[in-house]
Amino acid sequence: MLYTQSIDTVNTIWYNVDMNTWVKWCGKTVQCTYCREDITNGEPAVYARHRLQKSDDSSPWTVNFRWHAKRARDGQCCYITNQLEYLAAHPRIETRGKKKMLISAEVRSQRLKLLQRRARLVQRLKVLTMPDMDFADVDAITTIGQQITELKGLIEPLGGIPNSWNR
Ligand SMILES: [Zn+2]
């Protein structure tokens, strides 16, 4: 089975089917995958071996990596630095609340209208309650507050009240 993590080279997606990582004393001087400086014999080093495949039936391709575990000149772990850079380049995708709901297209469209109506009301409320307003239109604020509350009851049967509405 192919893993989902993939490496995209030019026009080819390589699936990472096996990843092994270990730490040991460097046995012979090699170049660091990250900083390209030498890792000298006797230094601690992080090693990794990835097996990549283009598809389930293609022959795997093995790639070896080695990093400074603690670079002599500054103590940097090039492995961690490298991985953190990778994470920074691939921002976390927020999936909470984004799961597709099992509701009909009609219900979805009604729900969307309520979401939009609430967004407009919240926007108006923000304007009405801005600190530099000359006076607070308490009646308008109260009315909008009530309308926002009523929307909860309307959206409840259309897939439930969004979590963000309860904050
Ligand atoms: Zn390094």
pLDDT for 89 beyond 60? yes
Give all strands (DSSP E) within the chain, no chain letters. Answer: 6-9, 12-25, 30-31, 38-39, 44-53, 61-68
74 C-alpha to ligand 1 centroid (Å): 10
pLDDT tier, 125 (very low <50, low <70, confident <90, very high otherwise): confident
Top pLDDT among 18 and 113 is at 113
What is the rounded average pLDDT for all residues in the chain?
84
Residue 3 phi, psi dihedral angles, 5° rounding: -80, 160
pLDDT for 1 beyond 60? no
43 C-alpha to ligand 1 centroid (Å): 11
| Mean pLDDT to the nearest integer, 98-108 | 76
75 C-alpha to ligand 1 centroid (Å): 10
76: helix, strand or coil: coil
Rounded distance, CA 114 to CA 85, Å?
41
pLDDT tier, 154 (very low <50, low <70, confident <90, very high otherwise): very high
pLDDT tier, 27 (very low <50, low <70, confident <90, very high otherwise): very high
17 C-alpha to ligand 1 centroid (Å): 25
Ranked by mean pLDDT, which of 7-11, 52-56, 144-148, 162-166 comes out on top? 144-148
Q: What is the pLDDT of residues 54-80, one digit of tens each?
A: 777 778 888 899 999 999 999 999 999
Rounded distance, CA 78 to CA 94, Å?
28
Rounded distance, CA 91 to CA 86, Å?
9
Cα angle for residues 102, 107, 108 (degrees, 5° grid)? 70
60 C-alpha to ligand 1 centroid (Å): 27
